Structure 1
Amino acid sequence: MQNTAGTGPDAPIDVTPLLDDPYAAYAALREAGPVHRITGADGQPAWLVTRYDDVRRALADPRLSLDKRHATPGGYRGFSLPPALDANLLNMDPPDHTRVRRLVVKAFTPGRVNALREPVRRVADELLDAMAERGRADLIADYAGPLPITVICDLLGIPQDDRRDFLAWSDALITPDPSRPGQMKEAIGSMLEFYTGLIAAKRAQPGDDLLSDLIAVRDDAGGDEGGDRLSEDELTSLAFLILLAGYENTVHLIGNAVLTLLDHPDQLHQLQRNPAELPAAVEEFLRYDGPAPLAIRRFPKEDLEIGGVRIPAGESVLLSIASANRDPGRFPEPDTMDPGRDLSGHLAMGHGIHYCLGAPLARMETVTALDALLARFPELRLDVPRGALRHRRALRARGLISLPVAW
């Protein structure tokens, strides 16, 4: 790779290698320098930070804002979301971020998540029952996808009949089809209509679910902002974020973890013999091949330096979680999958005040999903040549399109 910050031409580097072979590409970038100029997903230049220490510091640096109002005018063109979907935690700084997060974090405490363990296992066993007689399955479509969407929809109180549409909308947002230029806009419109209707239905007939609780917080506060209150846009955006993030990251984490185990049969057999080691193994799966290669983009509130490179205020900064978690300066032999290594400080779930809200739930779901799968199908194997597998071509998401397996 060429055109590193401070040493090459001003033109951004080509990000194609980051899509084709990301870990080799990130290794080359780390070696070449700590910060690089690239073309972001919006087609605009951005600064890519690659080394562990720099990424970790930047994740917690209050000078780096998630609020798009700090972006240089015309210098950022991300998702074009309507206000009712855009007023979410991924676009907020304190104090708004603190206020909104405090209202929902109680749903993801260790105690609440632990209470979901048995229902999650029940869903996992039902999905495996449906797969068992066939002797083969696409593990993404038949297991890794349905499990988290069922869990998060149950948590929010979303009716069963609406869930299939959501999967299609989610795919359109994360990996849009280049041959369908209007696909993303259509998905956004459908999502907004869906959430608006769902909230109206929950208002009319509340249930025992998280969305009904959030609506009560919003309505009991009389619609005022400030304090522990939500605006209507914040309410809608929060439901959108919980559902999208709760599904997308977990399906990719489960799929990536299973493929990693199929690539490392010794580790697969070790976990089948000792399922109590699964929580530690999931931490290594997160480090080794996590679902979110990049943190949400940030905008400097002032000119600053990262890794000795000056970055002007308002320009897009991308923090590479995938690269930081493979930095040999922090994790020796980083390309080796080793659940026994010191995994303290991996950044797969973020760091600082924007640490992943749903991390406890994602960890529990993944441990439970793997435990059930490995127990049910001890002779699990790939059902296609390894080279036939394809990942989604997205800088921000690391996940398999399909994972055909047999047993």
Structure 2
Amino acid sequence: MTDKLPFEFFFSPEFSADPYAVYAGLRAKGPVHPIDFPPGASSFVIVDYEYARPALNDPRLSKSLTNGPEWFRDAVSQQNPVLADNMLMSDPPDHTRLRRLVQKAFTPRRIEQLRPRVQHITDELIDSFDGDRIELIDAFAFPLPIIVICELLGVPDADRADFRAWSGTLVNPVLTEEQARDNEAASTALRGYFEALIAERRAKPTDDLVGALVTSTELSEQELVSTLALLLIAGHETTVNLIGNGMLALLRNRDQLDLLRAEPDLLPNAVEEFLRYDAPVERGTFRIALEDLEIAGTPIPKGSFVHVSIGAAGRDPSVFEQADDLDVTRSDNRHVAFGHGIHFCLGAPLARMEGQIAFGSLLRRLPDIELGCEERELSWRFSGSILRSLAALPVTIRRG
């Protein structure tokens, strides 16, 4: 087993720019490595597919905050209580109950019914592009999924600027006192927003997802607020990254862009490849060992944090041929970008559909699109976060 990786491992500019080269070096030494993150805790990171995939569905690795160390429970409860009581932060039977209550809103059939509306939103956004230089995250990758999830929930998309600020704060690591204060303020603001919305829906029932959830007798008030916050944040942040990371991958690989433009039937394949190649979620949310166990021969003491690197698993050459190459024709793409097992992403059908429409429309309507800056000028949001998210993606365009 290697020496313990320092706390700063996830936070260096080099790692943000290219985590895959860093992970490849680690993978060559072994699949599991101790890491000082959270600082001072017993923690490990898994960097290959063989052990990452089963770890995502290992019942010995808990997702419940109640199984974390007392200091960790106190920190989360104080700084970020709005996200502490939902399906992502629970184990069965609570996870089963919470997921069942919202799952019917995300069935493939229900999502497919949204396709015309998503296409309309996409076309309106492209119509609004002004000039031949666009910042694609602000102009397209962010507004598309936030409008869609707001409409699905029944939340006014006019409030999306607030949602972006709150969610951006809440998904960032808390490393300083200032960040802790910002995190607590964002959590309080989002909680207040949803409490007011819940009261409004109870007074005037609606048939949207918020309206349906407020009538449930199976949700506590805290679970209701936390579930709505999770759906809002997870429902747009990850799709922003899918679109941004995927477009950057195409702009860096012009042969694949040209192939996808020439053969739009490859769009479903391409979206899966973007998810594998530069996953929107770089690593899974925390897991805590419920007992002493071993992963790949590495002892994991009870109470340890286990980080599963989804990004590293997607670039494992023992599973994916020429893993560092973008290939929109790749078949049998067994990536774990949506997780695995009971915590498999509820919104996967929606993200896939939005991605297919987004990439297809951009390539069809913009016959000439180029990266609008030097690659070295690109930067990534949330250094050290679980998300893999471009800060901005400037492009130059010519319309068809």
Structures share fold, TM-score greater than 0.5: yes
TM-score range, shorter chain: over 0.9
Match of 1:3 in 2: none
- Equivalent residue for 1:88, pick from 86, 89, 103: 86
Aligned length: 391
Match of 2:275 in 1: 286
- Describe the superposition over 1:45-80 as per-residue Cα deviations: whole angstroms up to 9, x where unpaired: 521011111011111111111012222333675574
Match of 1:241 in 2: 230
Q: Shift of the alpha carbon at 1:161? A: 2.8
The answer as to 2:386 corresponding to 1:387 is no
The answer as to 2:63 corresponding to 1:66 is yes
Q: Which amino acid aligns with 2:392?
A: S
Match of 1:48 in 2: 45
1: CA distance, partners of 2:96 / 2:391: 35
- Equivalent residue for 1:144, pick from 137, 141, 146: 141
2: CA distance, partners of 1:130 / 1:58: 44
Q: Is the 8 A contact 1:290 1:322 kept in 2?
A: yes
Match of 1:124 in 2: 122
* Range 118-127 or range 382-391, more displaced: 382-391
3-state DSSP of counterpart to 2:35? strand
Match of 1:399 in 2: 389
Q: Shift of the alpha carbon at 1:90? A: 1.4
Q: Is the 8 A contact 2:2 2:33 kept in 1?
A: no
2: CA distance, partners of 1:157 / 1:13: 40
- Describe the superposition over 1:345-390 as per-residue Cα deviations: whole angstroms up to 9, x where unpaired: 2111100000001000001001111111111111011111121111
Matches within 5 A, 1:3-402: 6-8=1-3, 14-15=9-10, 16=12, 17-40=14-37, 44-74=41-71, 77-78=75-76, 80-81=78-79, 83-131=81-129, 133-175=130-172, 180-181=178-179, 182-216=181-215, 218=216, 221=217, 229-392=218-381, 393-402=383-392
3-state DSSP of counterpart to 1:74? helix
3-state DSSP of counterpart to 2:117? helix
2: CA distance, partners of 1:30 / 1:321: 13
2: CA distance, partners of 1:30 / 1:121: 41
1: CA distance, partners of 2:360 / 2:86: 33
2: CA distance, partners of 1:270 / 1:82: 44
Measured at CA, do residues 406 and 41 of structure 1 come closer, stay the same or move farther in structure 2, by a change above 3 Å? farther
2: CA distance, partners of 1:55 / 1:240: 27
Q: Is the 8 A contact 1:174 1:394 kept in 2?
A: no
1: CA distance, partners of 2:72 / 2:301: 12
1: CA distance, partners of 2:350 / 2:358: 12
Q: Among the aligned pairs, what percent are the same residue? A: 45
Q: Is the 8 A contact 1:75 1:315 kept in 2?
A: no
Q: Shift of the alpha carbon at 1:10? A: 8.7
3-state DSSP of counterpart to 2:128? helix
Q: Shift of the alpha carbon at 1:232? A: 1.4
1: CA distance, partners of 2:391 / 2:7: 28
Measured at CA, do residues 20 and 262 of structure 1 come closer, stay the same or move farther in structure 2, by a change above 3 Å? closer
3-state DSSP of counterpart to 2:161? helix
- Describe the superposition over 1:318-364 as per-residue Cα deviations: whole angstroms up to 9, x where unpaired: 01111111111111211011122234421111000000010000010
Q: Is the 8 A contact 1:66 1:90 kept in 2?
A: yes
Q: Is the 8 A contact 2:56 2:339 kept in 1?
A: yes
Alpha-carbon RMSD across the aligned residues, in angstroms, is: 2.0
Measured at CA, do residues 9 and 206 of structure 1 come closer, stay the same or move farther in structure 2, by a change above 3 Å? closer
Q: Shift of the alpha carbon at 1:43? A: 6.8
- Describe the superposition over 1:109-152 as per-residue Cα deviations: whole angstroms up to 9, x where unpaired: 11000001110010011111110x41221000000000000000
Q: Is the 8 A contact 2:154 2:209 kept in 1?
A: yes
If the length of structure 1 is used for normalisation, what is the TM-score?
0.91
Q: Shift of the alpha carbon at 1:230? A: 1.4
Q: Which amino acid aligns with 2:34?
A: R
1: CA distance, partners of 2:280 / 2:186: 22
1: CA distance, partners of 2:206 / 2:27: 50
**Unmatched 5+ stretches in structure 1:** 1-5, 222-228
Q: Shift of the alpha carbon at 1:199? A: 0.9
* Range 114-123 or range 85-94, more displaced: 85-94
Match of 1:226 in 2: none
